[in-house]
């Protein structure tokens, strides 16, 4: 089942943040971006699955959280990822018109447009939080997307703004 309650999603976020990401061999001291991807159950998650069964290679920096719909994503979930140590966040859902719940992604799109502008306005680097549409047939697009966001976030470096520092 996709994660829908806030507690489930947040617990998954925290578990992912706390567990060390696998470090590539011989690069033990090198920083690797941590990226959380919220994928909708019906399209993007299946797209990621297709990338896997097609044996497409993509960087291992992304950790996936499955949600019922991109409309489920509250800006708070995205901000909490950045607060608790994620370097990047990806939100991906069905293409417009393909939503399993008819209009979830349309409503999400308006929310994301406002949020995207607002984060940029406050000075959060462009590319830290990204949005995409990936269908269940687009395994290749998913692999390329992860490639791209990993490179983008690697260029930006570790997240510093919004991170909750221990006092």
Contact residues: another protein, CB under 8 A: 6-7, 10, 75-76, 79-80, 83, 96-97, 103, 106-107, 109-126, 130-133, 145, 148, 161-165, 167
Question: What value does the CA radius of gyration of the chain take, rounded to a whole number of Å?
Answer: 15
The Cα-based distances of 116 to 31, 94, 123, 154 in angstroms read 26, 18, 11, 20
Specify the residue, 23 or 155, whose C-beta has the smaller distance to another protein. Answer: 155
Report in angstroms how near the CB of residue 111 gets to another protein at its nearest.
6
Write down the least CB distance from residue 25 to another protein, Å: 31
Q: Residue 34 and residue 128: Cα distance in Å, rounded?
A: 11
Q: Which is nearer to another protein, 19 or 117 (CB)?
A: 117
* Strand, helix or coil for residue 149: helix
CB of residue 42 vs another protein: minimum separation in angstroms?
17
Q: Phi and psi at residue 157, in whole multiples of 5°?
A: 85, 180
Angle of helix 75-83 relative to helix 104-122, nearest 10 degrees? 40
d(Cα 55, Cα 82) in Å, to the nearest integer?
30
CB of 142 to another protein, least distance (A): 11
Q: How far is the CB of 26 from another protein (least distance, A)?
A: 32
37 — phi, psi (to 5°)?
-115, 120
Closer Cβ to another protein, 50 or 81, answer by number: 81
Closer to another protein by Cβ: residue 16 or 129: 129
Under DSSP, the state recorded for 22 is P
Q: Which is nearer to another protein, 24 or 126 (CB)?
A: 126
């Amino acid at each position: 089942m996709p994660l829908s309650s806030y507690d489930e999603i947040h617990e998954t976020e925290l578990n992912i943040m706390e567990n060390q990401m696998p470090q590539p061999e011989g690069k033990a001291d090198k920083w690797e971006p941590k990226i959380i991807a919220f994928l909708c159950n019906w399209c993007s998650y299946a797209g990621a699955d297709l990338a896997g069964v097609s044996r497409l290679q993509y960087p291992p920096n992304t950790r996936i959280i499955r949600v019922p719909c991109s409309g489920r994503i509250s800006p708070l979930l995205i901000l909490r990822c950045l607060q608790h140590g994620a370097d990047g966040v990806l939100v991906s859902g069905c293409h417009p018109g393909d939503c399993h719940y008819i209009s979830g992604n349309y409503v999400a799109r308006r929310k994301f447009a406002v949020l995207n502008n607002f984060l940029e306005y406050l000075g959060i680097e462009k590319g830290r939080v990204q949005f995409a549409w990936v269908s269940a047939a687009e395994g290749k697009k998913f692999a390329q997307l992860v490639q791209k966001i990993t490179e983008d976030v690697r260029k930006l470096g570790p997240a510093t703004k919004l991170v909750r520092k221990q006092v």
